[in-house]
Structure 1
């Protein structure tokens, strides 16, 4: 689902202009990103947890040229799904198979 489709669905549901809903979603994303940067962890109820992870510096290979490249230390974001989300997804998969 794209940001535009989410915006459109939510705008219709709450009967507000799509442009205003887009601003609200962007603000929500900004809050999540800032909290993730400060605390390193954001809980999204019933969905899961976003958490920063440290990636060590390492040597990699450029797949196009085969040359060795140095990759600097950095932070990455990981996602651990909530049990509610996993149960929901697995129940849907069971229904599709039947």
Structure 2
């Protein structure tokens, strides 16, 4: 019997940085307490969410642009039964990476 083909090596999973970890790094860099840095990040998240809900685009220089995009209603298929179903129109948050960030990675 022939040997089975070798499986390709699994990609290394990228580390996930949490808001708490960002807060700790921000606190060290800006000489803030962890509590202050965490509050700043929470406020930033809240402000971004508020403006996205209003329909505004949020430009973060050097990072990219966040905006809400509308998805039209469409026909889909239930994978379990194969039955056609109608998927309602919805909104999603889209992110477009800034050129500077794209080139630096």
Tell me the TM-score normalised to structure 2 length.
Answer: 0.72
User: What runs of 5+ residues in structure 1 fail to find an aligned partner?
Assistant: 90-98
Structure 2 residue aligned with 1:30, among 46, 64, 70? 46
Q: 2: distance between equivalents of 1:16 and 1:61?
A: 52
User: What runs of 5+ residues in structure 2 fail to find an aligned partner?
Assistant: 1-16
Write 1 or 2 for the structure with the bigger share of helix: 1
Runs of 4+ in 1 over 6 A off after TM superposition: none
Write out per-residue CA displacement over residues 1-39 of structure 1, whole angstroms, 9 at most, x where no aligned residue.
221211111111122221221111010011111112223
Name the counterpart of 1:59. Answer: 75
Name the counterpart of 2:3. Answer: none
Tell me the TM-score normalised to structure 1 length.
Answer: 0.77
Name the counterpart of 2:31. Answer: 15
Q: 2: distance between equivalents of 1:31 and 1:62?
A: 37
Let me know the Cα RMSD of the aligned residues: 1.6
